[in-house]
Amino acid sequence: MIEFLWPWLFALLPLPALVRWWRRRVESPQPALTVPDVGAWRIEDPGAATSHRDRRASFNLLLLVLAWCALVTASARPQWTGEPVALPVTGRDLILAVDISGSMGTEDMEHAGNYVDRLTVVKAVIKAFLDRRAGDRVGLILFGTSAYLQAPLTFDITTVQTLLTEAPIGIAGGKTNIGDAIGLAVKRLRSRPASSRIMILLTDGASNSGELQPVKAAELAAETGVRIYTIGVGATEMRLPGLFGRFGSRIVNPSAELDEETLEKIADLTGGSFYRAQNPAELAQIYAVIDSLEPVEQDPETFRPVQVLFMWPLGLSLVLLLLLLLNSSIQRSSFSGSAPGVSDGS
């Protein structure tokens, strides 16, 4: 059905009539010249000319009234509201917290025979994970030096995937702030059913930014009933080329800064689990394990699709005003071209 968000604006419909009436009351014009005999001013066919002008004036007035009505209708914000659509009543409330600090650009993850950066692999695996999230509300937190809520809990999985795919490395800062990411997730999940509050935290380093310590944030999450599954991502070995290519190369641990002890403690405090992913296959396997969590019953919800319609009456108003200007221009041209009833003296 069609409804109006601001129906009280229809009270403005009689405004032009009231303004015209008020002007007539205030401006009581007096004749400037009294002509005792109008015989000399008589035109050849006064009835036809008067009738023509009256029709023009009436048509212009009709266009103006219709344009005003259409403009008021557009201002009242009409919208079409569809039939209620039932939403899934089972599922999880799941928030993904993804580290996008500078270290996520380390190219130590082998994929299809090539080494790619960690964030690229994470995006690909999480996309496949989200494809299976039918019935779940999913939120997205991106964190680096600071933590930001990119998407609140929503059934719109496609938007969450898009926001994650478009996130560049380092946009949230070069450091790692795990504590604020957990705190932000707890703030969003605490109003949801206690049995479905889940957070998946993925990082490749140690928390070195923010005032809220990760363990303290985990304690707050445990009090709120939020289960946190932590994932440490990054290979344990990476060969760095030497001065002459492979000759003189050395093997380093690119995940030396990963604080596995803290991640494991966060998971233990909240009733979750800690996982270690050194390659894309292990990361995909971890998400498959999390995917096996049983969904929980939730209160049924419905929503009604809404489509705004203000542009149609607004467009009609503009068209009517253009017709009014065109008609007035034609009328002025016709009267300026000749003076009806005035003799040329011949």
Q: Is the pLDDT of residue 293 over 70?
A: no
The tokens of 110 are what?
């082998």
Q: Is the pLDDT of residue 140 over 90?
A: yes
What was the pLDDT predicted at 342? Answer: 46
What average pLDDT does this structure show over 79-91? 72
118, HSE (Cβ side, Cα atoms, 13 Å): 29
What was the pLDDT predicted at 134? Answer: 73
287, HSE (Cβ side, Cα atoms, 13 Å): 23
Q: Are residues 139 and 221 in the same domain?
A: yes
Residues 247 and 63: their CA atoms lie apart, in Å, by: 86
135 against 139, higher pLDDT: 139
Q: Are residues 236 and 177 in the same domain?
A: yes
Q: Are residues 92 and 181 in the same domain?
A: yes
Query: Could you tell me the pTM of the whole model?
Result: 0.61
Q: Is the pLDDT of residue 137 over 80?
A: yes
Q: What angle do CA 52, 57, 59 make, to 5 degrees?
A: 95
Which of 185, 7, 180, 3 minimizes the C-alpha distance to 78? Answer: 3
CATH number of the domain encompassing residue 144: 3.40.50.410
The number of distinct structural domains making up the chain is 2
In this structure, what are the phi and psi dihedrals at residue 276, rounded to the nearest 5 degrees? -120, 120
Which of 107, 96, 100 minimizes the C-alpha distance to 139? Answer: 96
Residue ranges making up the domain that contains 329:
1-8+48-83+304-340
- 299-343: pLDDT as tens digits: 666 667 788 899 999 999 999 989 888 888 877 776 555 554 444
Q: Are residues 190 and 95 in the same domain?
A: yes
Residues 185 and 269: their CA atoms lie apart, in Å, by: 16
Q: Are residues 193 and 318 in the same domain?
A: no
Residue 171 included in any domain: yes
